[in-house]
Amino acid sequence: MALLNAKKKSHLCASHFSPSDYYDTPTNRILLRRDAIPSLQENSQVVSQIDTSNEIKEEEVEIKDEPVDEFADIKQEEPIVDDNAPLFLDFTTNKMKEEPVEIKSEPIDDFSIINTEDPVTSMYCPSTG
């Protein structure tokens, strides 16, 4: 079986067979012979329309093979990255990137929170000297 276009699924319909490939039946059923071989002409195919009166109408149809650019309408947008976030995904390497975070330390005004019984904190307590 020959393919008309390799990108599309192959199909068989009445246009691929000649009238002699069908059985003559007294009813309106159309039966295809088991030994029927599909036929294709180069750059054109015969389109057959079989009606209930068993008459076959044929017309030539030209098949055009044109390249299709399927991705022409797709627009890529830049990713939105929050610059204030300490961690974010680096889109160029697909890895997490850590930015330096500034830690602000404020002086303690209230030394009552320091435990004077603790040997470590007691040496920092101005009341114990």
The domain ranges of the chain are 14-62
pLDDT band, very low/low/confident/very high, at 72 (cuts 50, 70, 90)? low
Tens-place pLDDT, residues 1-21: 444 444 555 566 676 777 777
User: What CA–CA distance (Å, rounded) separates 61 from 4?
Assistant: 13
For residue 90, what are its two tokens?
């680096």
Whether residue 95 contacts residue 81, with contact meaning beta carbons closer than 8 Å, is answered with no
Tens-place pLDDT, residues 22-69: 777 777 667 777 777 777 653 344 444 444 455 555 666 666 666 666
